[in-house]
Amino acid sequence: MIKLLLLVLLFFVGYSFIQTLFPSRSKGPKSSDNAKPEGEQMVLDPQCGTYIPLSESVKANIQGQQHYFCSRKCRSQFKKKH
User: Given the rule CB under 5 A, which residues bind Zn ion?
Assistant: 45, 47-48, 50, 70, 74
32 with 20: CB under 8 angstroms? no
43 with 52: CB under 8 angstroms? yes
Q: How many CB atoms lie within 10 A of CB 40?
A: 12
Residue 26 vs 73, nearer CB to Zn ion: 73
The residues facing 52 across adjacent strands are 43
The nearest distance, CB 57 to Zn ion, in angstroms, is: 9
The nearest distance, CB 44 to Zn ion, in angstroms, is: 10
The nearest distance, CB 47 to Zn ion, in angstroms, is: 5
